[in-house]
């Protein structure tokens, strides 16, 4: 759509502003939800990189790990005609804003730097709209991880669980140790993150048909009832105070040995690293049992909004800085994720980081890389939110597995 693209004339005007005006505009206002310790440390890498280029950073953090609150704030800003320079965004949310004609055009910098050759197609699906670059991907997070306290695992025999039965045996052992088996946060996106992994553990095709194809027969199947039954079982290992707990506080429970395991995306690793913990020594990272070789992903991207012409140069410099391989390595080492570029060396990454990069490459090569339902990369927001509602109600005991299956089918149909 031409409607949302910066014209060549406007771009030329932006790049031809007077030096004084350019200096005044060399600022980026960034809306994001990276407010935990590990996330803030990673974001600081980008801030300092831009400051070294003479671009000041106006921070606009909105707490809330899933980004729902940030999107509410963004809507108000855009409605008021005062869009930020760049906004942290996920998956289909980016495409929704592009359809509204709200996003700018990064084609100039993307072509100059050859983004098409080094950013995986699965990410470009959300970085481009109508053939034009509209967002700069920062990373690739994979979501089907377990983060296990190493001391607790050693007491449980030291074996990483490779199947559902072995996972339950480990959780029972954690309970016998007197610690909370599962560190969980009672928020819909966290419940859905766990459900993502449970569904994937029952088969690649099952996951794809259910969450990407939105096949009614699969959503209403006996296997989906089994997925909900497993959620009920896992709920029995969660402490009574989990409702409303932020994900990073759940990570802290594992870090401090108060809980045995957290089911969370690899942003959790940033909390372990910030706490001075070492993979293999203090904690174990592994894929959810039954999902080995497959990866559900989300990708944090900075969507670039339409701004006045004098602000475009700083916006383009920010996009360029994000895709710089040196920055991609430095940022993702701190954040816990894998780089969004395929040409970034893994030398600086720890054991979990190297595993994340290798798993991602293998899954992409073998057709086992799937967008995460829980994190907006499998289906549009309306469908995702409908699934959230059913999953959270079932996890909290408001729906039986049988009723949850029926509700899931009708909720998805209604949201399509």
The length of the chain is: 416
Q: Give the tens place of pLDDT for each residue, 68-89.
A: 889 999 999 999 999 999 999 9
Give the 3-state secondary structure percentages of the chain, helix then strand then coil, rounded to 5: 55, 15, 30
Task: Please give the structure tokens belonging to residue 137.
Answer: 């991907």
pLDDT tens digit sequence for 166-222: 999 999 999 999 999 999 999 999 999 999 999 999 999 999 999 999 999 999 999
Query: Which superfamily is assigned to 2-140+299-354 in CATH?
Result: Periplasmic binding protein-like II (3.40.190.10)
Question: Do 2-140+299-354 and 145-296+364-415 fold alike per CATH?
Answer: yes
pLDDT-based confidence at residue 20 (cuts at 50, 70, 90): very low
Phi, psi dihedral angles at 201 (to 5 degrees):
-65, -15
**Whether residue 116 has pLDDT greater than 50:** yes
C-beta separation of 299 from 91 below 8 A: yes
Q: Structural domain boundaries of the chain?
A: 2-140+299-354, 145-296+364-415
- Distance between CA atoms of 404 and 416, rounded to whole angstroms? 18
Which SS3 state, helix, strand or coil, does residue 11 take? helix
Predicted confidence at residue 176, as pLDDT, reads 98
pLDDT at residue 334 in the model = 85
Beta bridge partners of 146: 263, 286
Cβ–Cβ < 8 Å for 355, 196: no
pLDDT digits (tens, 9 = 90+) for 244-298: 999 999 999 999 999 999 999 999 998 999 999 999 999 999 999 999 999 999 9
Answer whether residue 37 shows pLDDT above 90.
Answer: no
**How high is the pLDDT of residue 148?**
98
Query: Structure pTM?
Result: 0.84
| 145-296+364-415, CATH topology level | D-Maltodextrin-Binding Protein; domain 2 (3.40.190)
Confidence at 25, pLDDT banded by 50, 70, 90 = low
Q: What confidence tier does 14 reach under pLDDT thresholds 50, 70, 90?
A: very low
* Average pLDDT for the chain: 92
């Amino acid at each position: 759509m031409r409607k949302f693209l910066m014209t060549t004339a406007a771009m030329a005007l932006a790049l031809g502003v007077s030096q004084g005006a350019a200096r005044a505009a060399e600022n980026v206002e960034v809306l994001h939800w990276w407010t935990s310790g590990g996330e803030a440390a990673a974001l600081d890498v980008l801030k300092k990189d831009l400051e070294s280029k003479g671009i000041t950073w106006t921070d606009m953090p909105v707490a809330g790990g899933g980004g729902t609150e940030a999107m509410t704030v963004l809507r108000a800003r855009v409605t008021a005609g005062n869009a930020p320079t760049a906004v942290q965004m996920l998956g289909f949310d980016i495409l929704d804003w592009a359809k509204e004609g709200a996003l700018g055009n990064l084609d100039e910098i993307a072509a100059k730097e050859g983004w098409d050759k080094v950013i995986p197609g699965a990410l470009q699906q959300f970085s481009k709209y109508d053939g034009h670059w509209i967002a700069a991907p920062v990373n690739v997070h994979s979501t089907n991880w377990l983060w296990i306290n190493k001391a607790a695992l050693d007491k449980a025999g030291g074996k990483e669980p490779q199947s559902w039965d072995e996972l339950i045996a480990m959780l029972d052992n954690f309970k016998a140790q007197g610690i909370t088996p599962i560190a969980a946060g009672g928020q819909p996106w966290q419940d859905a993150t766990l459900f993502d992994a449970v569904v994937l553990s029952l088969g690649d095709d099952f996951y794809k048909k259910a969450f990407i194809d939105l096949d009614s027969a699969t959503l209403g199947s006996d296997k989906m009832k089994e997925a909900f039954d497993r959620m009920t079982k896992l709920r029995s290992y969660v402490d009574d105070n989990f409702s409303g707990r932020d994900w990073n506080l759940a990570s802290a429970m594992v870090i401090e040995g108060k809980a045995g395991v957290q089911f969370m995306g690899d942003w959790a690793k940033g909390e372990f690293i910030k706490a001075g913990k070492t993979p293999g020594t203090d904690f174990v990272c592994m894929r959810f049992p039954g999902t080995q070789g497959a990866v559900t992903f989300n990708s944090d991207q900075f969507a670039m909004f339409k701004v006045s012409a004098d602000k475009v140069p700083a916006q383009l410099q920010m996009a360029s800085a994000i895709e710089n391989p040196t920055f991609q390595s430095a940022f993702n080492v701190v954040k816990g994720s894998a780089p969004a570029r395929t040409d970034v060396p893994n030398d600086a990454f720890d054991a979990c980081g190297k595993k994340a990069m290798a798993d991602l490459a293998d899954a992409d090569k073998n057709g086992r890389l799937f967008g995460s339902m829980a994190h907006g990369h499998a289906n549009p927001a309306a469908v995702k939110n409908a699934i959230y509602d059913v999953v959270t109600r079932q996890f909290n005991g408001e729906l039986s597995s049988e009723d949850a299956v029926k509700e899931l089918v009708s909720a998805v149909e209604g949201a399509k």
